[in-house]
Amino acid sequence: MTNGLDFNTPIHLVPGVGTPRAPIFERLGIRKAIDLLFHFPRSYQEVSQCQSVLELQEGILATVVGVVVDIDSRFRFDGHSSVGVLLAVDGGGYVRCTWYNQPFRREAYARGQRVLARGVVKSSGVAYQMRHPEITLLDPDEPPPEARPRAIYPLTEGLTQRMLSSAIEAALPLAQNIEEALPAELRQNAATLLKPGSAALLAIDQALVQIHQPVDMAQAHAARLRFIFQEFFVLQLALAMHRYAYQHERPAPSIESNAMIHTRILNRFPFRLTDDQRKVIEEVRADMSRTIPMNRLLQGDVGTGKTAIAQYAMLSAVANQHQAVLMAPTELLARQHAKKLHEQLEGSRVEIALLVSSMPGSEKRELLQRIAIGTVDIVVGTQALLSEQVEFSKLGVVVIDEQHRFGVQQRASLRTTRTAPHYLVMTATPIPRTLALTLFGDLDVSTLKQRPPGQSPVQTYVLSPGLMERWWNFVKQQVQAGRQVYVVAPRVESDDEKEILGAVQWWKQLSEGPLQGLRVELLHGRMESQHKQSALDRFTQGAIDVLVASTVIEVGIDVPNATVMTIADADRLGLAQLHQLRGRVGRGKYPGFVGLIPSATAVGNSSVGSSKEHEQVPQTKRQVEGQQSDSDKIQWLEQFAKIQDGFELAELDLRRRGPGEIIGTRQTGLPEFRIADISQDEQVLMVARSLAGQLIDDDPQLKSPDHSRLLRQVVAKHGKLMPVGDVG
């Protein structure tokens, strides 16, 4: 126990907190004294040395200490007000501190009070002035604080920096009792890899003191580096342990793809494979030939041909008398996969079956029996495949499409079968490298970037209100030329509070307004399965001109005749999702066009741009954009319109929205970091991954006494999410 406190001291017993304030601290997850130590600063304020009036410079941030000698308030006829506090600065001279429209400031200070003021200096001609400075109250005889960085913490309503700093200072002596989890050799190796020749990463007791009370910014950075590395390292240990355990738990069937099988499968493709596809097929072929289960993530940009890789893996299994599974996130996509497989394997002896929740009971029971005895070669399905009732005779390979849409525990279910199948998980959402290493660090990663020849370019435009009539005229011209059109809305129904139209309302307004007379129909995720499939089938067959849809069409929908897409409230979607939607057009021999409508742009707004000479869609971006907006959302859309590379967009999206928004933290098991930032700390992540791999190679289960504390951290932090990033 230190200063009457120990790690488990309830927060209300920490000096300066008390019972009334305890619930405020608890909102930040601070319930015990030890929680204060690990509530890290989000940034630092570099406090400069206190200055005299003679040292002040116009426009420069400065710090002065003085005594309040006058307080005044001023009011204007327009209702605005100001509060002024005149300081007699140590060493002579005066500085006036001014706040506008903050009348409470008058009651916050008193004549004779000693304060520290920090702000940008302005000259009023008579005296120096600081507008809206930051004020620290000092005791009458208190010397000015040292010129050292001041920690700035995440707060919640009712809590100030001063209250939180005071509580942390009271708990800080406990740092000397914290056990060190990172061995000294590991800390030295990490430091050497991060910065050759540097000293070892700080020990935890030093790091805790320096992160909260650094003498200078170098100390603050050194302390942060220690904890950033530790967060990444513990996660990478969990992933490496899980990878090792899976590889050594049960052998997988060796599925050889000899020259004859290889050639027969390739001859099934009605197109020439790209070099990227051939390279990935060789990786999959080598993986499946071993008795170590394949555990591979295949990520590819829109239109790069991931389905061909999946088909190769499944047909390899079937050729070796094993079954294959293809699991999709939606029934719509599962049905489309099944339909394509039937078409491409027509005339073969491969038995393909579709298993979805909407199947009649008797039909499902019969199919389950056929799967169990092995008369079905390839099963395509949704989450229905995860049912305990589904048993396979000889499961060889599992392909999961759009795997990030399945929760970790769902993906784990298929691994509880009696066999250890090979796994190929696919995503059409390019994943930034740091995010891939965090989420899928225990998978081998293959990447497809090349697009097959013959794909048409897609031109993307940001539409201003005055160009809506011109855009809808262009849509009608495309339909008259025999092409088809998507209109996508982020929501199914309207949100009146946010003034967002849903797909249902867009369908109604377009049918009765700008696109009246065309065959306009609706598709969204809340419709019954047969109605969704019917709408998609009729669109595919050309019986629908314009399909108004929710983002249910984001992935996998393939209609080569669709050339135009309008995305409503486009700024409410992420760049990666916009890129997926854009990939639905221009898939055939005709060029694609995408129009992005920012929020609050009305359907059919035609106050500008209706002259006949501009009825054709302009061929330059400048002509379609109309008036440019300075808002961040519009700028992101304009940036998206210029970039075609999905991997570049994924990196931008990571910086813009963070990892949780891109993938969905709760669904995928993305760990929450206290201090690490995967978009900023890539070098530290790579070093942590390398050292974690080496450690698990030497001590796969962390049984060494030197690693016992590390093991406890891995279990405590990632025990529930041990299969993070893995399909099982």
pLDDT for 588 equals: 81
Evaluate whether 382 touches 331 at the Cβ level (below 8 Å).
yes
Evaluate whether 485 touches 336 at the Cβ level (below 8 Å).
no
């019972």: which residue's tokens? 19
> CA-CA distances (angstroms) from residue 587 to 123, 405, 437, 591?
64, 24, 31, 8
- Rounded CA-CA distance 690/227 in Å is 17
Segment 71-81 shows an average pLDDT of 88
Lowest-confidence region among 201-205, 457-461, 693-697: 457-461
Residue 309 has pLDDT above 80, yes or no: yes
DSSP reduced 3-state for 98? strand
Name which of 595, 604, 652, 602 is nearest 624 in CA terms. 595
Of the options 3.40.50.450, 3.40.50.720, 2.40.50.140, 1.20.1440.130, the CATH number for the domain spanning 48-147: 2.40.50.140
- Rounded CA-CA distance 313/276 in Å is 16
Name which of 312, 329, 331 is nearest 320 in CA terms. 312
Burial zone of 310 (CB within 10 Å; 0-12 exposed, 13-18 middle, 19+ buried): buried
Give me the sheet containing 295-300, strands edge to edge. 352-355, 378-381, 323-327, 395-400, 422-427, 295-300, 444-448
Residue 482 has pLDDT above 50, yes or no: yes
pLDDT for 157 equals: 87
pLDDT for 717 equals: 84
Backbone angles phi, psi at 489, to 5 degrees: -120, 140
Note the Cα 238 to chain centre separation in Å.
21
Where does the pLDDT of residue 536 fall: very low under 50, low under 70, confident under 90, or very high at 90 and above? confident
pLDDT for 608 equals: 28
- Rounded CA-CA distance 293/284 in Å is 11
Q: Do domains 48-147 and 465-626 have the same CATH topology?
A: no
Q: pLDDT tens digits, residue range 288-301?
A: 999 999 989 898 88
């049905």: which residue's tokens? 335
pLDDT for 449 equals: 86
Where does the pLDDT of residue 33 fall: very low under 50, low under 70, confident under 90, or very high at 90 and above? very high
Evaluate whether 584 touches 553 at the Cβ level (below 8 Å).
yes
**Token representation of residue 368:** 């389950």
pTM of the model: 0.72
- Rounded CA-CA distance 582/575 in Å is 10
- Rounded CA-CA distance 19/13 in Å is 8
Lowest-confidence region among 32-46, 442-456, 535-549, 620-634: 620-634
Segment 128-142 shows an average pLDDT of 88
- Rounded CA-CA distance 321/396 in Å is 9
pLDDT for 602 equals: 36
The CATH fold of domain 259-448: Rossmann fold (3.40.50)
In the chain, domain spans: 48-147, 259-448, 465-626
Provide the mean pLDDT of the chain: 84
Region of 304 please: left (phi>0), alpha (psi -120 to 50) or beta: alpha
Where does the pLDDT of residue 623 fall: very low under 50, low under 70, confident under 90, or very high at 90 and above? very low
The residue ranking higher by pLDDT, 35 or 672, is 35
Name which of 87, 48, 91 is nearest 69 in CA terms. 87
Lowest-confidence region among 459-473, 524-538, 628-642: 628-642
- Rounded CA-CA distance 383/401 in Å is 12
- Rounded CA-CA distance 68/85 in Å is 7
Evaluate whether 535 touches 503 at the Cβ level (below 8 Å).
no
Where does the pLDDT of residue 595 fall: very low under 50, low under 70, confident under 90, or very high at 90 and above? very high
Beta strands per DSSP E along 188-321: 295-300
pLDDT for 719 equals: 75
The CATH fold of domain 465-626: Rossmann fold (3.40.50)
Residue 354 has pLDDT above 90, yes or no: yes
Name which of 351, 403, 357 is nearest 373 in CA terms. 351
The residue ranking higher by pLDDT, 544 or 453, is 544
Q: What is the DSSP string of 469-525?
A: HHHHHHHHHHHHTT-EEEEE-S-SS-BTTTTB--HHHHHHHHHHTTTTTS-EEEE-T
Where does the pLDDT of residue 556 fall: very low under 50, low under 70, confident under 90, or very high at 90 and above? low
Burial zone of 598 (CB within 10 Å; 0-12 exposed, 13-18 middle, 19+ buried): buried
